[in-house]
Amino acid sequence: MQQLKTKVLIIGAGTGGYVAGIRCGQLGLDTVLVDGGDGLGGTCLNVGCIPSKAIIHAAGKFETVAKAASGGTLGITATAPAIDLKQTVDWKDGVVRKLNAGVAALLKKAKVKVIKGWAEFADAKTCIVQTDDGEIRITAEHVILATGSEPVELPFLPFGGDVISSTEALSLSEVPKKLVVVGGGYIGLELGIAFRKLGAEVAIVEMAERILPLYDKALTDPVAKWLEKHGVELHLGARAGGFGDGKLSITTRDGEPLQLDADKVLVTVGRRPRTQGWGLDNMGVAMAGPFVKIDQRCATSMKNVWAVGDLTGEPMLAHKGSAQGEVVAEIIAGHDRVFDPVTIAAVCFTEPEIVSAGLGPNDVAGRDDVIQSVFPFAAIGRALAIEAGEDGGFVRVLASKADHRILGIQAVGQHVSELSNSFAQMMEMGAVLEDVAGTIHVHPTLGEAFHEASLRALGHAIHI
């Protein structure tokens, strides 16, 4: 068995793990990265964020041509479009391969040793990696756990055949005629909307009484209107059952049994931390429910064992893992760092898109010390010019009445994901309403709605 000693051992090559690796290398730390999952870039790059956005983008292009073919749009007409989903998936895979190669090049430049194989820990600082070339025993001074998460499987709807997770949905060779999505969260809605644009008949089954239950109703209403307008069948307050002979059994909110025709059943009821199969029980780290417990330095209860990303709890977002990975690398290198963000913005790439950073209306319900201001995209020139002002979209700002400190920012509308960094930056800097109001925003852009919402909170919006 090959023996290997290193300063830093990272388990998992997702956004938390590979970023930690690159930063460790930049800081001159001898680093080994074990990749035993989806490949360099992890879930996000290979079977999550990036490929799903590629398919969503392709679906939007198809929808535009379909509109032009069904009576015209903006004076543009076209013949009826067709899609070869296999070619679309091949293009998506090409994007993934290019990014994989980029991550590999960055790790090589940082002098990080990458080992492809599955690790299993014998104790907190020692693991055995099974590779194609045999076993490698690795001991390390520091261990960074970045094993990520995996889709939750329902016992009565096990993955296989026509019951698929988001991973399989992103690699289908043809558009299903009838798709039933179990779960009305962001993953199910993003993919369900994309497949509806591509021509599938889509039904969504959600246990809660509305879609995207983690967001307030004002943010989700425009999405619900899009679903209704485009013939997506919604079964809210409903429970899914078994699947067989092309039919999914559900129980409606009224307790009535119902059979839904389905060529494919996409199960998107959540994700869970990947804690099994790599010897976590042998490491002696404390847990916080299903997650590995960490402090503000991303340190576990075991000395010099760190954890980042989905393994550490909500929000299970790629950019959180990346930020944690940087922090841990710098701490190991002797820097004084903590992971203590003011906010971690979240985006739903639905139709329209949703962004949320900081506190929302539900968080401040009953408080009279908070200003809430909303500005509609219908009053923004750029939004109207790109057909983004007619779906009920808006930007909302919440701020303290006492000192005007911004407490939260939300938006719903086409392309609002591009505003998320501005929202997070203003909150991280501790901005007050006057900071946003005093920043000259470029015209014509969607960001003007953020400016106007802040002006409105101060009592003097210009364009409403």
Q: What is the pLDDT of residues 34-71, one digit of tens each?
A: 998 789 999 999 999 999 999 999 999 999 999 999 98
Q: In terms of Cα–Cα distance, which of 223, 234, 229, 228 is closest to 392?
A: 223
Using 50, 70 and 90 to split pLDDT, how confident is the model at 305?
very high
Per-residue pLDDT, 388: 87
Q: Taking a C-beta distance cutoff of 8 angstroms, is the pair 140, 32 a contact?
A: yes
Mark 26-45 as b/e (b = at least 16 C-beta within 10 Å). bbebbbbbbbbbbbbbbbbb
- By DSSP bridging, strand 264-267 and strand 163-164 are parallel
Whether pLDDT at 449 is above 90: yes
Interior angle at CA 433, CA 430 and CA 435, nearest 5: 70
| Distance (Å, whole) CA 18 – CA 21 | 5
pLDDT digits (tens, 9 = 90+) for 192-211: 999 999 999 999 999 999 99
Cα distance from N-terminal residue to C-terminal residue, the chain: 72
pLDDT digits (tens, 9 = 90+) for 324-338: 999 999 999 999 999
Residues 324, 312 contacting (CB under 8 angstroms): yes
Which residues are CB-neighbours of 44 under 8 A, at least 6 positions away? 14, 15, 50, 318
**Mean pLDDT score of the chain, rounded to an integer?**
97
Number of separate helices (H) and strands (E) present in the chain: 12, 24
Percent of the chain with pLDDT over 90: 97
**Token duo for residue 329:** 């690398």
Using DSSP bridges, classify how beta strands 291-292 and 287-288 pair: parallel, antiparallel or unpaired: antiparallel
Encode burial over 346-363: b for 16+ CB neighbours within 10 A, e otherwise: bbbbbbbbbbbbbbbbee
* pLDDT, position 73: 83
Q: Which of 343, 350, 355 is nearest to 417 (CA)?
A: 355
**Which of the four pLDDT bands, split at 50, 70 and 90, describes residue 188?**
very high
Half-sphere exposure of 18 (CA within 13 A, CB side): 29
**Cα 67 to Cα 64: distance, rounded to the nearest angstrom:** 5
- DSSP letters spanning 371-426: EEEEEEGGG-HHHHHTT-SSS--EEEEEEETTT-BEEEEEEEETTGGGGHHHHHHH
- Parallel, antiparallel, or unpaired for β 134-145 and 126-131? antiparallel
The residue behind tokens 């644009």 is 197
Q: Summarize the confidence of residues 378-386 as an average pLDDT.
A: 96
pLDDT digits (tens, 9 = 90+) for 410-448: 999 999 999 999 999 999 999 999 999 999 999 999 999
Instruction: Count CB-CB contacts under 10 A for residue 392.
Output: 18
Q: Does the predicted model carry a pTM greater than 0.75?
A: yes
Q: Which residues are catalytic?
A: 443
Do 14 and 37 contact (CB within 8 A), yes or no? Answer: yes
In eight-state DSSP terms, residue 76 is B
Q: Residue 352 in contact with residue 222, Cβ under 8 Å? A: yes
Cα–Cα distance, 415 to 419 (Å, whole number): 8
Mean pLDDT of 392-421: 98
pLDDT for position 105:
98
